[in-house]
Chain A
Amino acid sequence: MPTQRHWREIPQRYRLEGNFCPDCNRYFLPPRLVCPGCGRKELTPKKLSRKGKIVTFTVIRVPPKTQELKTPYPVAIVETEEGARLTCQVCDCEPSELRIGQEVEIVFREVMREGKTGVIMYGYKARPV
């Protein structure tokens, strides 16, 4: 994830600024350009709540180099209260304790570092309530 791309995604990564289709009543994070339900292009910006539930998850045991300190770690699809589905790591838990349907809160964490001297990138993760 290059620094510049991360910088452009600050509103969604730091503040959960997604969007919403008024026709289908669907919420999206990351924000979409076009509603996958009706094809509408004028979607409304919407800040999402930090509460959600785990829809499904997997456990990463062979991580990329940047995530070695956290291994093994779960990656989950989390549904927010509004119904937006986002993908993120689950932190502060043992993977064996996670359950589908479990309530989580979306927290602000470091997501990646460009080595020891590069930029530190922050974003959202889920943690069990």
Chain B
Amino acid sequence: MVGIVGYGAYLPRFRIKVEEIANQWGNDPEVVKRGLRLKEKTVPAPDEDTITISTEAARYALLRAGIDPEKIGALYIGSESHPYAVKPSGTVVAEALGITPDVHIADFEFACKAGTEAMWVAHNAVKAGEVEYAIGIGADTSQGAPGDPLEYAASAGGSAFIFGRNKIVAEVLHTASFTTDTADFWRREGAFYPRHGGRFTGEMAYFRHITEAGKMLLEKAGMRPEDITYVIFHMPNGRFPLQVGRMLGFKKEQIEPGWIVPEMGNTYSGSSPTGLVATFDIGKPGDIIMLVSFGSGAGSDGFIFRLTDRIDEVRDLAPKVKEMLDRKRYVNYATYAKIREKIILNE
């Protein structure tokens, strides 16, 4: 059996409230908060990016795994905000973790599902017997154009998962992917901000892909929604994951532990993976946990995990998601615009 042997999330300390963004653009904060079911979002510090977030999350995963970093044979990072267009993020992270040079590295992109893509490939590299351990990371410092509804959600954070065969914390029971060519959200080469198809991003993209992948996964596993202890969906806002959960037959209590978007925002490739870490933080041995991501373009990856007895041993070895969400410092819109480099400066 192959599974997760160590996991970790990392969230920046800065936050901006929905009110602060809404007031800047002349929108009614209460309408936005109710409509999107969001309160605030994480903001990366000026010296944080996908590489630093991935490194910190992976360090926490290593603390929980308790393995020699040199035994990791593959490292994959999924993100849509890799700091370089050409030059991998993974090399920096691997060097910082001390796992070079005997390691296979790749950076992935697939909008918000790049993180679960990295997990999927890491899982299969171990399953194929090519490497002893592999690490899959999803992290982003998400971009949303100023004044666009996306700006209320686009946030920063990420999670890392080490896959292996020994000392497993969460066994991987089943996986499934559902993918079509659907242009619901994109960013062209050289463009600073992404664009999206408005309402088209809902029914034909998010809801279709998650429900289809979810159904495929449950069918493969021979399980029904009531057999699953907790479920995590991609969280572009607060409303969508609750709605897609209802469509698949899940109850709110099954979704809630991983539904961290009202305080975290949408960390894009780090969204559902960080929801998974938050669920591991409260899970018990034997719990069955299902994850279905969504990436525009479009596709969904699904996993079903079963927690082992080891979850109770490793849980407290690194910071929990709730602790990182509670440790915060608010910034106003002007500071946010400065540190997110939305202000044009002279060279």
Residues of A within 8 A of B (CB): 10, 14-15, 68-70, 89, 91-92, 107-111, 115-116, 120, 122, 125
Q: Which residues of chain B have a CB within 8 Å of any CB of chain A? A: 12-14, 45-49, 51-52, 55-56, 59, 83-84, 92, 95-96, 98, 329, 338-339, 341, 345, 347
Q: How far is the CA of A42 from the CA of B23 in the complex (A)?
A: 62
Asked if A120 and B98 sit within 8 Å, CB to CB, the answer is no
A residues in contact with B96, CB < 8 Å: 14-15, 108, 122
B56 touches A92 (CB 8 A): no
Residues from chain A with a CB closer than 8 A to the CB of B48 are 109-110
A14–B59 Cα distance when bound, in Å, is 12
> Is B95 in contact with A69, judged by CB distance below 8 angstroms?
no
In contact, A116 and B98 (Cβ under 8 angstroms): no
Inter-chain contact A69/B46, CB cutoff 8 Å = yes
CB atoms of A108 and B84 under 8 A apart: no
Q: Are A68 and B92 in contact (CB under 8 A)?
A: no
Closest residue of chain A to B327 (Cβ to Cβ) is A92
B83 touches A108 (CB 8 A): no
Question: Closest CB-CB distance, B49 to chain A, in whole Å?
Answer: 6
Cβ of A91 and Cβ of B347 under 8 Å apart? Answer: no
Evaluate whether A92 and B329 lie within 8 angstroms (CB atoms) in the complex, with A15-B96, A110-B47, A122-B92 already known: yes
What is the bound-complex CA distance between A15 and B55, given in angstroms?
11
CB-CB under 8 A from B45, the residues of chain A are 91-92, 109
Q: CA–CA, A23 to B337, complex, Å? A: 52
Besides A69-B46, A91-B47, 6 other CB < 8 A contacts? A14-B92, A15-B95, A69-B339, A89-B47, A91-B45, A116-B347
Give A3 to B157 CA distance when docked, in angstroms.
27
How many Å lie between the Cα of A87 and that of B52 in the bound state?
A: 20
Q: List, sorted by A's number, 25 A–B pairs whose CB atoms are closer than 8 Å.
A: A14-B92, A14-B96, A15-B95, A15-B98, A68-B345, A69-B339, A70-B47, A89-B47, A92-B12, A92-B13, A92-B329, A107-B52, A108-B52, A108-B59, A109-B47, A109-B48, A109-B52, A110-B47, A110-B48, A110-B51, A110-B52, A115-B347, A120-B83, A120-B84, A122-B92
